[in-house]
Amino acid sequence: MHALWWLIAWLRGVPGPVTNVRIIDMATIRTISWTLPTVSARQRPIKETEVSYRVKATPALPWTLQDKVAASAAAQRLIINDPAPGTFEYQLVAVDVDGAKGVATVVEKAKAYDPPGAHTGVTVVDSEV
């Protein structure tokens, strides 16, 4: 399937899809990393990657731009501090220097909600009937 998307992008002259997308969660940090597509002679150089997100829902919600990462960055990654719990979808799109957007790559990541806290202020009152 990836080869088909690459062929479509090559024929249209737009960037192909980003690949090797990895999402790693640590205590309070989510790191998204990826590999930029290879640019052919029919394509313009890649300027940046747009990373958007949305809560996974039915019907699908609109995408919200999280950030843009320059292709010249030392590492193709985005760090999100204190990600909210729930299931999120992330869309990564390579954009060339002319603003043409490539084929979107969509991945999802779920983070469990924290369990409820302990009860506080509990008192037991003895009463006679």
Answer yes or no: are the C-beta atoms of 100 and 106 closer than 8 Å.
no
Please tell me the distance from the alpha carbon of residue 105 to that of residue 17, in angstroms, as a whole number: 6
Residue 20 located in a structural domain:
yes
pLDDT tens column, 82-120: 999 999 999 999 999 999 999 999 999 998 888 888 888
Q: In total, how many domains does the chain have?
A: 1
Answer yes or no: are the C-beta atoms of 48 and 37 closer than 8 Å.
no
Residue 121 located in a structural domain:
no
pLDDT tens column, 46-76: 999 999 999 999 999 999 999 999 998 888 9
What's the pTM value of the predicted model, to 2 decimals?
0.78
Domain extent, residue 21, equals 2-111
Cβ burial, residue 121 (10 Å; 0-12/13-18/19+): exposed
Provide CB contacts within 8 A for 7, sequence distance 6+: none
